[in-house]
Amino acid sequence: MSATSKQPSSSLLQLAGIVLLVIAAGLMFVVGGEKDPSRPALGWLIGASFWLSALIGMLFLLMIWWLFDAGWSVILRRQIEHAISGFLPIGLVLLPLILFSALNPDSPLVPWSWMYPNNPVAGSAEAVSQDPLYLHKAGYLNTTFFTIRFAIYFIAWAGLAWLFRRWSFMMDQTGDHKYIYRSRMLAAIGIPVTALAATFAAFDWYMSLEFHWFSTMYGVWFFASSMRIALATIVLLMFWLASREDGLKGILQRTHFYFMGCLMLAFTIFWAYISFSQYFLIYSANIPELTFWYNIREINKDGTRNTWFWISMVLVFANFLIPFLYLLWHKNKFGERLKFIAVWILFFQLADVYWNILPGKVPYADGSDYFQREFSIGIVDILVLLGVAALVLGAFVKSFQTYRPIPIRDPRIEESLNCHE
């Protein structure tokens, strides 16, 4: 599809993203402060991984639709194929943080304290190298293996995205249905591969921030979170494209929005189920190495409520209860009402990402004591969040302008064009 003057420029979007990220990178070295120098790096991680989780969720949806041969989703599947071209730019955004941390583990800017063996352990007189729990995990938590795993994750995600895109666009040109069978077979292989990569990425980048803590359910939480962010993002893209003559105006049907609303309801319930189950099981076991992770999200060292307690309450009501009740109504799965709840879910899922990444015990440099990191929104967080969004949207627009907006030679395209409830 050729570009038109009405469409936003992919080059300008990508340039804006690069400028924002360059500014953010410069600020990382000056806004952290002596007390919490790693805070800007956590903001970089939040901004990049939030949109990465959206693409991972989209990749899951793409493979699920291929595997179950969902006819109604064919039009939306093409939009995901455009969007997942953003894996490469997000990988390039996260790469400097990973390499800097691996090559300079003694830097106070590094958010993963286990990388440097001389770092003090919060609340202990020992260094990381003397900590029994770290020594037990050292075969996995080391900078070399950490960097190798990062490469493996992105090779898996970007490789799957490249193959799905290539075969789909090749079918547009040739009409050969062999690409359909290839895509279904790849989806059957790609779902467990993506699930494993997403699970271990969540362990590496989020869970190991507090390396004493572990949860076997954490990868499932990351999957649920990724699906919610992906669904909300796709819905907003649908509204944008459905309003444009150079987009999908007159092509997207009311039923497409309804089905997406149903999926948003389903994964709202699933996210709540996983989040509560993890909390319930850890508190039932009452093992100090596990319960502390929730304690620092509720109380200060002196027993008073901290800011994270109120964020927790917001997540219970605003990230679950309100979307759950809202999406139960049939009429709320259409039009501006669905657009509203999509924005709502994106906002509060971002709060959930903050809640999972930022809280922590931060030891003072001399190891004498520690403080608990409270909720805050930093300038680096905002710049990276906007910068990565611009890069991914630029990749989407470039792909949309280069290839057909819908897969015209897919055998189920007519079913998707005329789908009904």
Question: ∠ CA(165), CA(171), CA(175), 5° rounding?
Answer: 175
pLDDT at site 6? 61
pLDDT > 90? residue 94:
yes
209, two tokens: 């921030």
Closest to 219 (Cα-Cα) out of 204, 234, 203: 203
Query: How far apart (Å, rounded) are the C-alpha atoms in residues 261 and 342?
Result: 9
Q: Kindly indicate the confidence band of residue 75, based on its pLDDT and cuts at 50, 70 and 90.
A: very high
Q: Kindly indicate the confidence band of residue 7, based on its pLDDT and cuts at 50, 70 and 90.
A: low
Q: What is the pLDDT of residues 273-297, one digit of tens each?
A: 999 999 999 999 999 989 999 999 9
Q: What is the mean pLDDT of the chain?
A: 94
Rounded to a whole number of angstroms, the CA Rg of the chain reads 22
**CA distance readout (Å), 259 to 254, 275, 291, 335, 348:** 9, 24, 39, 13, 22
Query: How far apart (Å, rounded) are the C-alpha atoms in residues 159 and 240?
Result: 28
Q: What is the pLDDT of residues 171-198, one digit of tens each?
A: 999 999 999 999 999 999 999 999 999 9
pLDDT > 60? residue 341:
yes
**CA distance readout (Å), 390 to 11, 57, 261, 278:** 10, 19, 25, 34
200 exposed, middle or buried (CB, 10 Å; 0-12, 13-18, 19+)? Answer: middle
pLDDT at site 292? 94
State the DSSP code for 382. Answer: H
- Residue percentage of the chain with pLDDT more than 90: 88
Closest to 396 (Cα-Cα) out of 22, 54, 48: 54
Buried b (16+ CB within 10 A) or exposed e, 249-281: eeebbebbbbbbbebbbebbebbbebbeebbee
> Structural domain boundaries of the chain?
10-416
243 exposed, middle or buried (CB, 10 Å; 0-12, 13-18, 19+)? Answer: exposed
H-helix or E-strand spanning residue 337: helix 335-357
pLDDT > 70? residue 4:
no
Q: Kindly indicate the confidence band of residue 5, based on its pLDDT and cuts at 50, 70 and 90.
A: very low
Q: Kindly indicate the confidence band of residue 20, based on its pLDDT and cuts at 50, 70 and 90.
A: very high
